[in-house]
Amino acid sequence: MVRIGYTMMTEQAGPRDLVDHLVGAERAGFDFSVASDHYFPWLDSQGHAPYVWSVLGAAAQATTRIPLMTYVTCPGFRYHPAVVAQKAATMQILSQGRFRLGLGSGENLNEHVVGPGWPAAHVRLERLEEAVGIVRSLLDGDLVNHHGTHFDVEDARLWDLPDVPPPIGIAASGPASCALAGRLGDLLVAVAPERDLVTAFGEHGGSGKPCVGQLPVSYDPDREAAVRRAHDQFRWALGGWPVNAELPDPAGFAEATRYIRPEDVADTLPCGDDVDAVTEAVRRYAEAGFTEVALVQIGGDQQEPFLAWARSALLPALRTL
């Protein structure tokens, strides 16, 4: 049975609301949760970007059961890997073992703010690989001295370590990142129901490990309203990750998606209150080999109706997959 998760999308709600939403998701019966780590929203209409690590700390105290995860953090520009390791260790303690650390090579949208320049994709993967090694060593309790191609670490050691290190998920969207995720990750993170991703992950060491996907939905009893909201706030997702990783600001995403129509978005993701449409979209992930799917309800002010619908109708249907 595919595990069904809830997404705290920091681009569309403020910090207090995000925590309240997660409390509601736990009550609704979601199996796990993930949270995005952004400095900017994708589009101005989303309107938010709080510091997710503070949100996660609060969420760990406000909930008791639901697992937490970054989806995903880039350990190489805004954050040094040594700091990411410290944050992850602290979150694992605060959550009493409910935390998973999702890592990725980043997007220009969020990482440009510290002014390092935005390197080519293969360099970003090199940085990610080096960073994962540093994070793992620190989470293992090692005293780390590291002088690598991209990072330096001087006499670093974590003083507050959890009994069990948090599992590390690695985001992948193509052969090279899947190979890296298979070699270095405890789970795969992806946003497309593509069997090739799961297969490549398995071929490089990920066989039998969890594979976590993500599915945006726009729930509303008024389907036209759902489509309008999805187009207004989520049309950026139709650009694909080779584009989404490169653009530097919401204005760039607005311009890049100016010709995407509401019907294009409606053809891509479930809109309205059709349980079968969401079930079929989740089924595509399951058939591709994913073991977990985190749902994203589009619209920060539309979480409570979605959670009520999920509890009464959607989650019972998804449990049959």
Burial of 152 (0-12, 13-18, 19+ CB in 10 A): exposed
Reported residue count of the chain is 321
Which residue among the candidates 107, 111, 194, 292 is catalytic per the annotation? Answer: 107
**How many C-beta neighbours within 10 Å does residue 269 have?**
21
| Amino acid at position 81, single letter | P
- Rounded Cα distance between 277 and 265, Å, is 14
CB 232 within 8 A of CB 45: yes
Residues 6+ apart with CB under 8 A from 12: 41, 46, 47, 48, 233, 298, 299, 300
Which residue among the candidates 38, 112, 204, 231 is catalytic per the annotation? Answer: 38
Q: How far out from the chain centre does Cα 238 lie?
A: 17
- Identify the residue whose tokens are 């409570």: 304
> Could you write out the three-class secondary structure of 155-197?
EECCCCCCCCCCCEEEECCCHHHHHHHHHHCCEEECCCCCHHH
H-only helix segments in the chain: 15-28, 52-62, 81-94, 108-111, 121-139, 175-184, 195-201, 223-234, 241-244, 250-256, 262-268, 275-288, 303-309, 315-318
- Rounded Cα distance between 77 and 150, Å, is 10
Consecutive H or E run containing 292:
strand 292-297
- Rounded Cα distance between 40 and 11, Å, is 7
Active site residue 147: no
Active site residue 107: yes
SS3 at position 219 = strand
Catalytic residues: 38, 107
